[in-house]
Structures are given as C-alpha cells and as structure tokens.
Homo-oligomer: A and B are copies of this chain.
Amino acid sequence: MTISMDFRPGPLGDQDCRDCPIRHRAVCARCEADELAQLEDIKFYRTFEAGQRIAWAGDRMEFVASVISGVASLSQTMEDGRTQMVGLLLPSDFLGRPGREIAPFDIVATTDLMVCCFRRKPFEALLEATPHIGQRLLEMTLDELDAAREWMLLLGRKTAREKIASLLAIIARRNASLQQQSMDNGLSFDLPLTREAMADYLGLTLETVSRQMSTLKRADVIELSGKRTIRIPDVHALMAETGDDADGGVLA
C-alpha cells in the first residue's frame, strides 16, 4: 500500500478530483462534473502516520472521509482488553457514517494514511440533494456488508491456517486490482499489518499468527523477505488453503 507518487495534495484541498486515484471507486464514483464540483467545494485532505489514532470509540466525529492511500482499521475492545478488528479500510473505502455523530469503534491508521474528508453536516446535506452520492454509498455499504459476512464465516468456522491464507488472499487481491499487476509470476506485496493487527483481524493470538505464517512458509505457499514483504509464488496454491470454493472469483 504505497502512497501514490503523483498525488500529493496540500492541506487545502487544492488538488483536482479528476487526478484522484480513487475517483472512480469511491463515494464520488457516480458523480457528474457538476456534482463533483459541489463535493470538491467541501473536501479537504488529511494525513495520519502509521499507528496514529483517528478516533476512540465514543468520540465525536466531525467528518466522514474516503481513504485515498494507506490502510485504516476499525476495532472493538472489551473491558478486559480483548480486541477484535471489525473493519479494514483500504483505498477507496468510506470512513464514518452519515447521520451519526459518535464513532462506535476505535479508528486507527495502521499504515501512513491519506484521506479525503468532508465535514459531516455539509456532506449529509449533499447526500439528501444528490441521489448519485446516496446510491453509490448504498452500493458500497452493501458490498461492505457482504465482506463482513464472509469475515463472519472466517471468524466462526475457519482454522487458524485457513484464516491466515484468507487474509493474505484478501490483501493480495485488493493490491493486485489496485495496481493492475500481472500475476503470471506470482504476486508480491507488503503486508500493511503487524502480527498483532493480523491476530486482531482473525480472532487469534499473535503467537498463533506467527506460527501459521511459519508453517505456510515451510509449505512453500508464501515466501517472506524481511517480516513484511510477501511473495505468493502460486496464487492457486494459496487459494486452496483458504477453505473457500476453488474459484470464488478470479483475482483482479
């Protein structure tokens, strides 16, 4: 998840939406030129450093936003400290909920992060006035609900090994589609998560994550250079480890 080199807006939102790398995938995807201009009026950019907290559960949220680059996560923590990640926001994903002031989850930048923000109130007004935004948001929310449901299958029924393989497949897929990478010689990418964040995503402990990464490496399903750089020599071999149906959608 590298920050794209050709999109470096200043803090004032002075960058043209037409050059935006997520222009055709984010909430604004369906907007016509005039609608886009209205969004452009109320947008501003913000960046967060890896590890920085964007909001605590219970905080007031003054904005909603689209992720431009980097990764953010939503998580819930129980009183005794048990933590479960409940959302992983990759570029083009939408952060926040119109019509709600209070964040129900902790929101953290897990890598360096750039987001395109809209103050909540003006955005809500625009949502009422501009059907294309609401329609796209509905579509994205339904997609997220589908993803949440696959995630529920993972949490409830998959083995530790299947969980790891599934997570790697999800990130590899998103990464490949974003970068239009060919997968003839396998795929490479940087894991945007620590072992602990992976554990929180998968409902495991970090020790189990580490052990399963090691066994997948020993089984030649993955190759590691350093701790975070991963190569998948054979995508089908990885898919076979996820427990999902053979061809649950081709990569890309």
Q: Number of contacting residues on A, CB 8 A? A: 39
A123 at the A/B interface (Cβ < 8 Å)? no
The CA-CA distance from A142 to B144 in the complex, in Å, is 10
Copies of chain A in the complex: 2
Please give, as numbers and ranges, the residues of chain B lying within 8 Å of A134 by CB-CB distance: 131, 134-135, 138
Main secondary structure of the interface of A (DSSP, over half): helix
Whether the Cβ atoms of A97 and B142 lie closer than 8 Å is yes
Q: Tell which of B74, B139, B203, B244 touches A157, judged by Cβ atoms closer than 8 Å.
A: B203
Give the B-binding residues of A (Cβ under 8 A): 74, 76, 78-79, 82-84, 86-87, 97, 99, 104-105, 128, 131, 134-135, 137-139, 141-142, 144-146, 148-153, 155-157, 202-203, 243-245
If A74-B149, A78-B243 are given as contacts, then 4 extra A-B residue pairs at C-beta distance below 8 Å, sorted by A number, are A78-B153, A137-B138, A155-B156, A156-B202
